[in-house]
Amino acid sequence: MLRNMRKAGQTLVGKIIATVFFVGLIISFAIWGIGDIFRTRPESTVAEVGDTSISINQVRNAYTNQLQQLGRQFRTVITPEQARMLGVDQQVINTLVTEAVMGEEAKRLGLSVSDELVARSIMENPAFKGADGQFNRALFDQALRNAGLAEPGFVQEQRAAMTRLHLAEAIAGDVPVPAAAKEALHRYTNERRGAAYLMLTPAVAGDIPAPTNEQLQSFYEERKGTYRAPEYRAVNVMALDAAAIAKPDAVSDADARQRYEQQKAKYGQPERRTIQQIPFTAMEDAQAASTRIREGADFAAVAADRGVSASGLELGTFTKAEMLDPAVADAAFSLPQGGVSEPIQGRFGPVILRVTQIQPESVRAFEEVAAEIRQEVARERAQSQIEKIHDEIEDLRAGAKPLADIAKEKGLTLVQIPAMDAQGRDKAGNPVNAPERDAVSKAAFASDIGVDNEALRVASGYVWYDVTGIEPSREKTLDEVRDQVATQWREDQVAQRLSEKARQLTERLEKGEAIEAVAQEVNAQAKTVTDLARGSAKDDLSAEAVNRIFAIPVGKAGNAANAADTRAVFKVTAATVPPLATTTQQAQNIENQLRNGMGDDLINQYIAQARQDLGVTINQQALQQAVGSGEF
């Protein structure tokens, strides 16, 4: 079953359940409110699923977490309106309801998971393993403390999640795949086609006379919406981060030198040693070998007598910090080059060491890195001042002090953007030069003139912004876009002529004319192509044209737009499908793909029926209360 848990993330089953077994496990418990199961307090209810209630706090935490994840993913501010358009609120409540449905069904069926299996799943969780790859109790306890969870509560939820997975596997595990389905997917995936074709280029369209004013006006009127100027906003922006307030000149020479000594290894390469090792099973054997070496026996000869090969003798080249065994490390780094150690009781048994090469440490002089160190120390000191300065700026904002005056008082840079669209571009279409441009542009277009905006919390600190002007979106006049309209009118005329010519040529191919003769008439080259695959461009055929070839029966003709200014006329000449060899890896992949899809369908149907049987009720007012505030 544990193996299946690791595979579960590939399917809908995994999306529903299996994420609780990986690195984000503890964090997600804290964020999604699972901890509230074990820290009970009265909450209003957003949804009821059988005997399970989903609280406002659970939904709010899940919704907040989802918006923050989206914000990090797209590196921008996700406003409540954007979240509603994306349907984040419905995604969150549906996920919580689905988990509750599976939990209720598992309880109804009397499913349970043994203590042994729960313990194994926890001990095999990568989040709780130390550097040696083994379960680390200290990491486990720390993770629970960070999430505010007690061990019994965590184990209880782990057991519930595993039970839900057990149910999902019972529903959708090892679904038999019909041979007809495998054959159909194999055909769709592996069918290859051949075709004869020619390309119609703009030259075939002939001379296009210059458009009259009436033609341009008509073309412009039909497409007026595509010639709109976007809304622009004038924005003042001020950023507060460590770099903005850092004062490297205030870092004394003594403080810089102290940091240099503390982090000397950072500015060069630490000492490395190449080490040989003879291992022993008993300390008595190691002491006897050490005596032989002191009496003049060759180190390699003693190793050979112990059955250690020349390659097995080499431990490797390491810094002291890279060595896993502290006792061995201390001994190796106390020897001179060529020196042999006394017997050492190492972690894995007694050993004798020899150092064959020493690479001395190489560190850049303080004077070379002084400026870098001062900047680093200054930023660290400034970082601790950000929250204090933020509060001071907020107090000044509350007193209606203009952002420009605040910037001057605090020694910060005020960036004045005369015009910026919703994508952060100026009127020339270039990105504006502003701190946190994407976040500021999104936030500015969700604000208005005169609004006292909250500072944007960003990774490096805070950003304040004021909207100082709005230039509404408008339709550009024909005179403003005349050249653009004329170019597009001509392209449209060419496309129409090529489409009509392609239709005529297709009809002639359908009547049996040779493609070579048809191509010669339009001064085009007749070409042939084989081994076409769905969705893949080949030679000068685009992926869209290839897909059109697959939509036409063998022996029939067709045409398709091939690029912005060309059109392909073709006749399908061949279609082949290799036999389905059921023993190949490809056949197994096809079967797995179908099984996963069918399993997902079964899970969806089961959950839908269970929702109906259990009676799911959602309080829309409480849902809006849970998701109705804040930007992330």
HEC assignment per residue over 250-293 = HCCHHHHHHHHHHCHHHHEECCEEEEEEEECCCHHHHHHHHHHH
CA distances from 142 to 27, 38, 358 (A): 12, 18, 40
Q: pTM higher than 0.75, yes or no?
A: no
Is the model's pLDDT at 25 over the cut of 50? no
Nearest 5°: phi and psi at 474? -150, 160
Can you tell me the distance from the alpha carbon of 474 to that of 471, in angstroms, rounded to the nearest whole number?
9
CATH classification for the domain delimited by 2-175+608-627, as one of 1.20.120.140, 1.10.4030.10, 3.40.50.300, 2.70.98.60: 1.10.4030.10
- pLDDT value at position 43? 52
- With beta carbons less than 8 A apart as the criterion, state whether 323 and 332 touch: yes
Pair of tokens at residue 606: 């089961």
Is the model's pLDDT at 14 over the cut of 60? no
Can you tell me the distance from the alpha carbon of 437 to that of 365, in angstroms, rounded to the nearest whole number?
39
For 146-204, write each residue's pLDDT tens digit.
Answer: 766 788 888 888 888 888 888 888 888 778 888 888 888 889 989 999 999 999 999 99
For 418-438, write each residue's pLDDT tens digit.
Answer: 999 999 999 999 999 998 899
CA distances from 395 to 238, 405, 406, 461 (A): 15, 13, 10, 17
Can you tell me the distance from the alpha carbon of 569 to that of 545, in angstroms, rounded to the nearest whole number?
9
Least confident interval from 248-262, 343-357, 440-454, 503-517: 248-262
Amino acid, res. 499: S
Quickly state the pLDDT bin for 36 (edges 50, 70, 90). very low
Q: Which of 163, 128, 162, 144 is nearest to 39 (CA)?
A: 144
Q: Which of 78, 150, 79, 155 is nearest to 123 (CA)?
A: 155
- With beta carbons less than 8 A apart as the criterion, state whether 50 and 617 touch: no
* DSSP secondary structure code for residue 168 in this structure: H
For 270-315, write each residue's pLDDT tens digit.
Answer: 889 999 999 998 999 999 999 999 999 999 999 998 888 888 899 8
- pLDDT value at position 626? 84
Pair of tokens at residue 558: 């067709």
Nearest 5°: phi and psi at 418? -70, -30
- pLDDT value at position 177? 87
What residues does each domain of the chain span?
2-175+608-627, 192-227+481-576, 231-248+381-472, 271-360
- With beta carbons less than 8 A apart as the criterion, state whether 128 and 135 touch: yes
- With beta carbons less than 8 A apart as the criterion, state whether 434 and 242 touch: no
Quickly state the pLDDT bin for 8 (edges 50, 70, 90). very low
- pLDDT value at position 15? 44
Amino acid, res. 594: L
Q: If DSSP states are collapsed to H, E and C, what string results for 533-590?
A: CCCCCECCECHHHHHHHHCCCCCCEEEEECCCCCEEEEEEEEEECCCCCCCCHHHHHH
CATH class for the region spanning 271-360: alpha beta
Q: At what angle do helices 585-614 and 88-108 cross, to 10 degrees?
A: 80
- With beta carbons less than 8 A apart as the criterion, state whether 98 and 607 touch: yes
For 571-625, write each residue's pLDDT tens digit.
Answer: 999 999 998 877 788 788 888 888 888 888 998 999 999 989 998 999 988 888 8
Those residues whose C-beta lies under 8 Å from the C-beta of residue 342, and which sit 6 or more positions away, are: 290, 331, 352
Q: For 431-436, which contacts have Cβ atoms below 8 Å and span 24 or more sequence positions? A: 434/235, 434/237, 435/237, 435/239, 435/463, 436/239, 436/463
- Cα angle vertex 163, ends 161, 164, to 5°? 65
- pLDDT value at position 238? 94
Pair of tokens at residue 92: 């969150």
Q: For 611-617, which contacts have Cβ atoms below 8 Å and span 24 or more sequence positions? A: 611/49, 611/97, 611/101, 614/49, 614/50, 614/101, 614/104, 615/48, 615/50, 616/47, 616/48, 616/49, 616/97, 616/101, 617/47, 617/48
Average pLDDT score over residue span 501-517: 95
Q: Which of 581, 511, 501 is nearest to 198 (CA)?
A: 501
Q: At what angle do helices 25-32 and 151-172 cross, to 10 degrees?
A: 100
Quickly state the pLDDT bin for 527 (edges 50, 70, 90). very high
- With beta carbons less than 8 A apart as the criterion, state whether 617 and 48 touch: yes
Percent of the chain with pLDDT over 90: 44
Kindly give the pairing relationship between strand 344-346 and strand 268-269.
unpaired
For 336-387, write each residue's pLDDT tens digit.
Answer: 999 999 999 988 889 999 999 999 888 888 888 888 888 888 888 877 788 8
